[in-house]
Structure 1
């Protein structure tokens, strides 16, 4: 890995963009080489590190080639259409990419796979190191606790979150269902009310809590007869996603073209 990894940030004036910029600026082995934003953004032309009381020597731009010039890696937490446009220029310039954007459809994922034949791309719906370790633990637990245990997934987030269950909770459910040879679409239960009858042992239950400023808590409960196993992850700050992204960027710096995920970054791939 280069002693001075040059990183460009997409969506640089957004909340996640600013967290990424702060992480890069404060990392001794990284340099902020570019900052991208949408045409018409009031942040264009400003120093992306100004909100930190620092100067980076660059300006926020909507010109993709200008923002990516000289970058080793782009970190992108934007929208599917924007990310694909960024990847097209990354391929042209030979810039690798860390993608935290979600919501891609099958055709868009195929496009990303095609780009990955030419540049290194690391894509994951959750960049938290802890969450990705928990996902692997859940796979192991579900395979071992495949009989006699009822499975419930409980998640809590702040009052402003608009979707439920959370994407991470659903990902946990997918991991558990796959390990058990089930289809989550067929076995998930998202709510209970009234006289529901006895619990179907083949189901995976979800419970959602919304309140206050909870960043994100997730617990998967394996409830057996005489014992309970709980695997939990609690986020106290979104900075964990930025730090996971930097870890992914460092990983890409020394890897060939291909499509990678956080299991590869963390050495958890089978």
Structure 2
């Protein structure tokens, strides 16, 4: 039985995490939200889980480092400076960050990387995602994760080969580009597809999330796994042994 500290407790994911923690036989040590700090409570917990906001990441990582506790980060909308923060924190404590904690998506990303490596640059790659109308960032963290997997399979940098937000007279598709398309509407928990378009054939790898509990259960599993690790940077691939 582990003590979980949840940052972003009142959000949709925070509530799902509380249920997943109980279902797994663990205990919610403390839940904090905007205006609160995990710092005074971090030492009482076995592992911290952060699903809050990018601008709170520095403080949350700092609290984990001071308390010497592992931290799972599922906050979306992270930018380059946040990944620098994650790398710095990982020198002191175990850190696991992911754009998606679904076990199915984790395996899908592994398959995307394999397909991109084996099919080669002659196949165009497009990442399509749809989420509920309230989601504020685009492309989703999961779409970026899948795009990174495709780029890794090709041995290229996603940031240098990413196409998104096409509109108007954009010209022909850039050779070797990884395209992104974003849809928003309704109450969709998450739909992701990676399309490999070759000459006269297509391969599509897809994942559908029916309920955000799949992400919460994955994050709890990741947190439990992380408590047994030494300081370092980890991913969901490590949790599944991929």
TM-score (norm 1): 0.78
Which deviates more from structure 2 when the two are superposed, residues 177-186 or residues 238-247?
A: 177-186
Structure 1 pair 148–73 and aligned structure 2 pair: CA distance change class (3 A):
same
Structure 1 pair 169–5 and aligned structure 2 pair: CA distance change class (3 A):
same
1:82 aligned to 56, 62, 71, which one? 56
Structure 1 pair 142–96 and aligned structure 2 pair: CA distance change class (3 A):
same
CA RMSD of aligned residues (A): 2.6
2:205 aligned to 215, 225, 231, which one? 231
Q: Does 1:13 align with 2:10?
A: yes
1:220 aligned to 185, 188, 194, which one? 194
Displacement after TM superposition at 1:204 (Å) = 2.9
* 1:56-92 deviation per Cα after TM superposition (whole angstroms, max 9, x unaligned): xxxxxx4635432421101111123423223323222
Question: In 1, Cα distance between the equivalents of 2:166 and 2:84?
Answer: 38
**Structure 2: gaps of 5 or more residues:** none
Question: In 2, Cα distance between the equivalents of 1:242 and 1:206?
Answer: 26
Structure 1 pair 181–88 and aligned structure 2 pair: CA distance change class (3 A):
closer
Q: Does 1:37 align with 2:33?
A: yes
2:104 paired residue number: 130
Aligned length: 242
2:151 aligned to 165, 177, 183, which one? 177
2:123 paired residue number: 149
Larger radius of gyration: 1
2:21 paired residue number: 24
1:121 paired residue number: 95
Structure 1 pair 252–194 and aligned structure 2 pair: CA distance change class (3 A):
closer
CA contact (8 A) 2:76 2:141 kept: no
1:42 paired residue number: none
Higher RCO (Cα < 8 Å, 6 or more apart): 2
Q: Does 1:70 align with 2:70?
A: no
Name the SS of the counterpart of 1:24 in structure 2.
helix
Structure 1 pair 258–173 and aligned structure 2 pair: CA distance change class (3 A):
closer
Question: In 2, Cα distance between the equivalents of 1:73 and 1:223?
Answer: 42
Structure 1 pair 256–224 and aligned structure 2 pair: CA distance change class (3 A):
same
2:233 aligned to 259, 263, 266, which one? 259
1:95 aligned to 69, 76, 80, which one? 69
CA contact (8 A) 2:76 2:140 kept: no
**Structure 1: gaps of 5 or more residues:** 40-61
Structure 1 pair 183–193 and aligned structure 2 pair: CA distance change class (3 A):
same
